[in-house]
Amino acid sequence: MEDGPVNLREFQELAKRNLPKMYYDYFSGGAEDQFTLRENVEAFQRIMLRPRILVDVSKIDMSTTLLGYNMSSPILVAPTGSQQLAHPQGELATARAAAACNAIMVLSFASNYSLEDVASTCNAVRFYQLYVCSGFLNKLFGPLFDTFCLRFHCFITCSFEQFLQVFKRRDVSATLLQRAERNGYKAIVVTVDTPRLGRREADEKNKMIIPRNSNLEGLISVDADLTGGSKLEAYASETLDPSLSWKDIEWLKSITKLPIILKGIITAEDARKAVDAGVSGIVVSNHGGRQLDYTPPTISVLEEVVKAVSGAVPVLLDGGVRRGTDVFKALALGAKAVMIGRPVVYGLAANGEHGVRSVIKMLQNELELTMALAGCPTLRDITRNHVMINHERPRSLL
Ligand SMILES: Cc1cc2nc3c(=O)[nH]c(=O)nc-3n(C[C@H](O)[C@H](O)[C@H](O)COP(=O)(O)O)c2cc1C
Ligand SMILES: CC(C)CC(=O)C(=O)O
């Protein structure tokens, strides 16, 4: 029998072997030159550790809390869409695996299983990721509404048209929020780096097709049958609302009791605006290098964001986390926790629920060992002094 993977990178190799090229390219790929995709990983490799010795590390405690919820480690599952392309059990398998590891899963807006199905598959703390949508609320108005809009399109004044846009979009998002609340999701993660889809050239070449998004059934009519190019692009341009702005965050806050976390902030300026807008958390993320290429690797801007926020809300990071040492580095630079995207999908493609569980456990075990070797028995013991970033490295290495 073949030996199993010994690190997260080997899960990627297994996933590549198991998946059709189109799906593997979708999961692994980034935008345009894929500079940010590569840098997310490589930037971690430019940070060195400064371990402290002769600390009693006979017991290591990785447990922590986020928004008052307990987690066995500071590792969450990032929202990734279309998980059924990796495994037939898709998000159900991921949810069960995350629950078994006491890790919070953020369910993607673009999930294949509905948020109700995922909620009922196991009992665990779970967040829901929202893209604020544009599109028709077919369930309430049906084809009549579509026809009305089309027929009178030429006669409608600009401001009325704008009113309709806001009305349509808000109802779909509000419906999704209510469903998330009813089904016990504990926070809403609003992704703010995707007013439009980044250009993923492999998806274009492959004419990427996507499976159905159960959450939107009856809510948005998505015509993903457009010929040529990536169907994902067609799907995204019919669902994502490019007019989303800070005032919509106020509106979202007014229609849900759940805490709102903004995902996709990479500057101090926006971090301060997010705190002023009253959000409950921030995820430093560049969408795993899939949106705007040539944005900096997330680990390189984490400190800037953490300083700007100055403890007002928890700051999370995702992008390129592949080792326990990466988690440690992010925590040393001020993150409350990290999220992992692709490694979870690779685990799913390699071996379903069991594969995802192995990925999360492997990263947790690596973090535990790192803490022991660095002289940090608890997460509170990890400080800025435990890492050295590029310009702080010893002269001998320059
Ligand atoms: C295949 C794939 C699908 C994704 N789908 C979503 C999504 O639906 N919503 C979202 O907010 N982010 C999505 N992301 C971005 C992730 O949440 C996360 O930011 C990113 O994967 C982190 O980088 P990593 O893959 O290097 O861990 C997706 C990422 C991948 C790789
Ligand atoms: C439906 C998409 C916008 C999913 C996504 O966020 C991604 O593929 O990166």
| 183 close to 116: Cβ distance less than 8 angstroms | yes
Is residue 263 in a domain? yes
- Let me know if 287 is a catalytic residue: yes
CB of residue 11 inside a 6 A radius of ligand 1: no
CA of 199 to the centre of ligand 1 (A): 15
Task: Indicate yes or no: pTM above 0.90.
Answer: yes
Number of the ligand 2 atom closest to the C-alpha atom of 291: 9
Quote the number of domains for the chain.
1
Is residue 398 in a domain? no
| C-alpha dist (Å) from residue 51 to 30, 54, 59, 128, 388 | 34, 10, 17, 37, 11
Is residue 106 in a domain? yes
Is residue 108 in a domain? yes
CATH number at residue 26: 3.20.20.70
Residue-range definition of the domain harbouring residue 187: 8-147+155-392
User: One digit per residue, pLDDT tens: the chain, 398 residues?
Assistant: 458 999 999 999 999 999 999 999 999 999 999 999 999 999 999 999 999 999 999 999 999 999 999 999 999 999 999 999 999 999 999 999 999 999 999 999 999 999 999 999 999 999 999 999 875 443 344 434 443 443 344 344 445 555 555 555 678 999 999 999 999 999 999 999 999 999 999 999 999 988 888 888 888 766 555 456 788 888 888 889 999 999 999 999 999 999 999 999 999 999 999 999 999 999 999 999 999 999 999 999 999 999 999 999 999 999 999 999 999 999 999 999 999 999 999 999 999 999 999 999 999 999 999 999 999 999 999 999 999 997 776 666 55
Is residue 300 in a domain? yes
Helical spans, DSSP H, in 122-223? 138-151, 158-182, 201-206
Cα 81 from Cα 345, distance rounded (Å): 10
Cα 166 from Cα 247, distance rounded (Å): 12
318 annotated as ligand-binding: yes
Q: What CA dihedral angle connects 10, 16, 19 and 25, to 10 degrees?
A: 130
Number of neighbouring beta carbons within 10 Å of residue 8:
23
Is residue 274 in a domain? yes
Is residue 2 in a domain? no
| 86 close to 15: Cβ distance less than 8 angstroms | yes
Is residue 315 in a domain? yes
Q: What CA dihedral angle connects 85, 90, 93 and 95, to 10 degrees?
A: 130
| 195 close to 131: Cβ distance less than 8 angstroms | no
Residues with CB under 6 A from ligand 2: 81, 110, 194, 197, 236, 287, 290
